Amino acid sequence: MYIRAFSGYNYKMEWFGYDKNKYYLSGIDWVINALDFYSKKRSGHGNFSQVVFVLSGRLDGAAFRDKLKDFCRVYPVLSGGPARDLNLCPYWRTDGRCAPFIWEEKISGDPWRDLYAFAARDIGSTYLRLFLVNGGDKDRLAVKFDHRLFDAAGIEAFFARFERYCRDGKALAAPLVQAPGLCRWGEKFLAGRAVNRFFLKLRKGLRPIAVKRGSGGLEFMPIEFDEAQTAAIDACSLRDSGYLMFMPFVLAKSLKAVTVFNRRAAIPGLQARDQYAKEEGDYLVPVNINLRPKSEDGNVFFNHLSFLFFRVPGAIIADQPRLMRSLKEQFFAQSKDKISVSLQRAGMLMRIAPLSLLAVFLKKFFGVRDAAFSLAYLDRSAYDREQLCGVPVENILHLPVVPADTGLGIFFTRYRKRLSVVVSLRAGMLNAQEKEDLLDLLKRGLLGEG
């Protein structure tokens, strides 16, 4: 009866100050804005990422740019930004404060070097920044995007829609609106209590194991698997972790690679028999999960994601079966308790907080400061086309920017039948040999060779 009365009361509150023509940001959207604020304070750049389309031919840059300019006119959201309404809820104001995108183009003798240099730069005063690199008979198109407006699946879906526009000249111009969600406060407070209890339990007695850090700019290390290697990795995942357990599998292999590398870096000349020696403490790993519904005509903007959090004692990393059991148990427990859903609901309560205050919460509870590394797995590519404006697409890579305090991130994606991994890190964290060692450990672990 209390909750029903409480919900009824807040139905009136939803009506007060509610503009049905606005897009009010969700709790997760506001969390992403807080991460952007925190990143700018710590490192001078925002919370952005990039997707790279590796093409099998040459792209007409001028024609592509002109078509994209026409396409973006349909979406004024690209020229907007966050603001607060009178009801204190943040919303996205479409006020033409910036250009929809910035275009760059270059002929290069070393395309990947120029792409990495572009990826390490800040996005600037826009939400989309494109860089076309003409290198030999293959072009590469890098799209840098602001996470306040796109998540990884959303940017792929945006360009899938653009590819359709290139073919038939039709752009979906549905109004972008979302209610503020000022109702069902009982559910939100219960979700907030569940999240608070989860974090208190997660961090009780936590002794985070220090991982080598870097303090410079951004660096990226990709591993591209072919179809045969991807099939072999899937077979290893099915054997070691079971059906539909690919995320715990790649997390286990990533933990193993980071652990061995970390011990080698801390103890030069470490013998192979000692590299799995028991460690005192815990590895804390936040995992980004994609919750965007697969719909060609759905909303491609903003953030449809959540997080899972894994705490793993360093002492069990060497025992892979035991490690896998621990990860699966934590995965099932968080799924049963609907932690990712509770985070979304509880996030609605956080929207009243200013970004500076919310950034402090993220640093303390979200593992930004104590995480050994962060991990993300985009289980299905939202870009399901084989071409981009008439040019065959060979592969799609994501180059995510890792938070400054974490320093290391591992991002898994699939395009068609190929798995790709990108290790994102801070400059100065690894020397050339250490980079090779980490990639070799990760690659051999995924393929079941070590």
| pLDDT tens-digit readout, 176-217 | 889 888 888 888 999 999 998 999 899 888 888 877 666 667
Establish if 176 belongs to a structural domain.
no
Q: With CA atoms as reference, report the closest residue to 23 among 230, 309, 302, 264.
A: 302
What's the total number of domains in the chain? 1
pLDDT of residue 269: 42
What is the layout of strands, in order, in the sheet containing 23-24? 23-24, 90-93, 81-84
Assess contact for 138 and 236: CB atoms under 8 A: no
Model pLDDT, residue 367 = 56
pLDDT at 53: 97
DSSP state of 127: S
Which CATH number fits the domain that encloses residue 124?
3.30.559.30
pLDDT score, position 23: 93
The Cα 325–Cα 330 span in angstroms is: 9
- Residue 84's DSSP bridge partners are 90
Q: What is the pLDDT of residue 17?
A: 55
- Residue at 320 is within a domain: yes
How far is residue 175's CA from residue 181's CA, in Å, rounded to a whole number?
18
In this structure, the number of other CB atoms found within 10 A of the CB of residue 399 comes to 23
pLDDT for residue 140: 96
pLDDT at 18: 65
pTM: 0.90
- pLDDT given for residue 272 in this prediction: 42
Q: Which domain holds residue 271?
A: 1-171+182-450
Domain assignment present for 328: yes
Q: Could you report the per-residue pLDDT of 239-289, keeping only the tens digit for each?
A: 999 998 999 999 999 999 988 877 655 544 434 434 444 567 899 999 998
Q: Tell me which residues of the chain have a pLDDT lower than 70.
A: 1-18, 212-216, 263-279, 295-296, 364-368, 450
Tokens of 369: 């400061």
Question: Does the residue 208 lie in any domain?
Answer: yes
Would the CA dihedral through 362, 367, 370, 374 be positive or negative? negative
Q: Where would I find the beta strands (DSSP E) of 48-127?
A: 48-55, 81-84, 90-93, 102-107
325-339 burial string, b = 16+ CB within 10 Å, else e?
ebbbebbeebeeeeb
SS3 428: coil
User: Among residues 12, 30, 13, 34, which one has the least CA distance to residue 90?
Assistant: 30
- pLDDT at residue number 395: 95
